[in-house]
Amino acid sequence: MNTQRLIRTLPSDIIENIVWRLPIEEIVRSSILSKDWRYNWTKIPKVAFTEDFLKNKVYKNSCKRRSKFFSAIYQFLLLHQEPIVDFTLSSSHIQTSESHCVKINQILLHLSRKNTVKKLHLTCECDLPSSIFSFHQLTDLYLSECSINHPPTFNGFGNLKTLCLEYVDIYKKSLMHILSNNPLKSFTMLTHGDSIMIFNDDEYGTMDDLFNSIPVIEHLTLDVWDCQYFGRGVIPREVATSLVHLKYLRLQGMCFLENQWFRFLLLMLRSSPNLEKLGLQMLCEHDDHEDLYSVTMQDCSDIWLEHLIEFEITSYLNKKHDLEFVKLILAKSPVLKKVRYYQDTGLKLLETLLSPPTCITNG
């Protein structure tokens, strides 16, 4: 049996499974395999236009070709017949012009009118249009490198469970509105100091406001730099609302030499009574402070991590201070099972601290 005949005999559900797993350019090319495959690409529920496709020689180093690329996406969507439930567009390797942003807005407007997308991934240096708030079926939203603001009539997505913001400029009012009107289970907000979160100067939310807006959160990833935007940078010892559902916490940009960052970490630990996994990325510019713990460690007496089973720390500088904190975690975590670290020089000390049942791995 030749290949073409074999292709014709495949059941439709197997053909669909094959097509859905291909990159978008291969999906379109598959239409020439046989007339039965010709329009399969118009039915796929998951569509991704990513950096790998943008690097194709056809679109390289030409503004005109980039415009054709975005136009091709729009034409693809116009010809697509079945509901799209998962859509990805990543243009981070393209210098996006104003005309490109217009085309991206057209793409989003078209998708919002169809109102079938549940998972949306966008990476583009654009001001997102108001149509972004018309995706009422969204359960997962991932935004990177863009700017976003909500219209006055926006009442939340309603079904959003996962929200990821990376290098996104957003008004605090917009952020709090999105957080407060969705049953979020997972929230990620990262800036690393490279992107400025745009907040209204006349409105300052507090840490209580932040915690109240994510009452059922289970996975939380934050850049500690962003905590300065709440309560004018003042970190309270405790807040009124505990994150009782929080199981996984990851904080990036941590530095024990910055007391406000350390106090934010302690606040999170006090407010997460059922925490099971903790991850810290340590970043510091100085390594000449010797009096840090005489100021801050006295605040740890009331912390008890009775459910913590996994601890991960990535340390670049201040190894002495970071390992002192590892000692603290070990002393406060009676059921800790695993410690992952990304620092070779800490191996001997960690081995002497960990009891036999505990597993440590070197990343």
| Other CB atoms within 10 Å distance of the CB of residue 356 | 5
| Reported confidence tier of residue 238, pLDDT bands at 50, 70, 90 | confident
pLDDT for 17 equals 63
Residue 89's DSSP bridge partners are 49, 122
User: How many residues are recorded in the chain?
Assistant: 363
Phi, then psi, of 293 in degrees rounded to 5: -70, -20
Domain boundary among 163, 184, 203: 203
Considering the domain boundaries, does residue 215 fall inside one? no
Is the same domain home to 51 and 27?
no
pLDDT for 186 equals 97
- pLDDT exceeds cutoff 80 at 298: no
pLDDT for 124 equals 86
Query: 355 is in which domain, residue-wise?
Result: 235-363
| Reported confidence tier of residue 156, pLDDT bands at 50, 70, 90 | confident
Quote the number of domains for the chain: 3
Is the same domain home to 107 and 188?
yes
Considering the domain boundaries, does residue 230 fall inside one? no
Considering the domain boundaries, does residue 213 fall inside one? no
Considering the domain boundaries, does residue 301 fall inside one? yes
Is the same domain home to 155 and 7?
no
| Reported confidence tier of residue 51, pLDDT bands at 50, 70, 90 | low
Is the same domain home to 26 and 87?
no
Considering the domain boundaries, does residue 106 fall inside one? yes
Instruction: Please write the tens of the pLDDT for every residue from 162-194.
Output: 999 998 888 777 888 888 888 999 999 987 544
Average pLDDT, the chain: 76
Distance CA 42, CA 108 (A): 18
- Percent of the chain residues topping a pLDDT of 70: 65
pLDDT for 11 equals 65
Is the same domain home to 28 and 130?
no
- pLDDT exceeds cutoff 70 at 293: no
The average pLDDT across 280-305 equals 65
Is the same domain home to 244 and 139?
no
Distance CA 332, CA 313 (A): 16
Is the same domain home to 57 and 31?
no
Distance CA 183, CA 167 (A): 23
Phi, then psi, of 314 in degrees rounded to 5: -110, 115
The average pLDDT across 250-270 equals 86
pLDDT for 362 equals 53
Is the same domain home to 166 and 131?
yes
The average pLDDT across 121-141 equals 90
Distance CA 144, CA 122 (A): 6
Which two structure tokens, joined as six digits, stand for 109? 């407007």
| CATH code for the domain of 86 | 3.80.10
pLDDT for 178 equals 87
Is the same domain home to 13 and 51?
no
- pLDDT exceeds cutoff 50 at 205: yes
85 against 24, higher pLDDT? 85
pLDDT for 248 equals 98
pLDDT for 3 equals 53
pLDDT for 63 equals 65
Mean pLDDT lowest for which of 27-36, 48-57, 220-229, 301-310?
27-36
Q: Taking a C-beta distance cutoff of 8 angstroms, is the pair 283, 254 a contact?
A: yes
- Percent of the chain residues topping a pLDDT of 90: 25
Instruction: Please write the tens of the pLDDT for every residue from 79-129.
Output: 888 899 999 998 765 556 677 788 888 899 999 998 999 999 999 888 888
| Reported confidence tier of residue 138, pLDDT bands at 50, 70, 90 | very high
Residue found by looking up tokens 């990833």 in the block = 221
Is the same domain home to 39 and 88?
no
Is the same domain home to 172 and 270?
no
Q: Taking a C-beta distance cutoff of 8 angstroms, is the pair 90, 49 a contact?
A: yes
Is the same domain home to 323 and 248?
yes
The average pLDDT across 283-312 equals 69
Considering the domain boundaries, does residue 339 fall inside one? yes
321 against 282, higher pLDDT? 282
Instruction: Please write the tens of the pLDDT for every residue from 56-76.
Output: 545 445 566 667 777 778 888
Distance CA 210, CA 184 (A): 13
Considering the domain boundaries, does residue 155 fall inside one? yes
CA nearest to 184, candidates 225, 154, 214, 221 = 214
Considering the domain boundaries, does residue 218 fall inside one? no
E strand or H helix at 267: helix 259-270
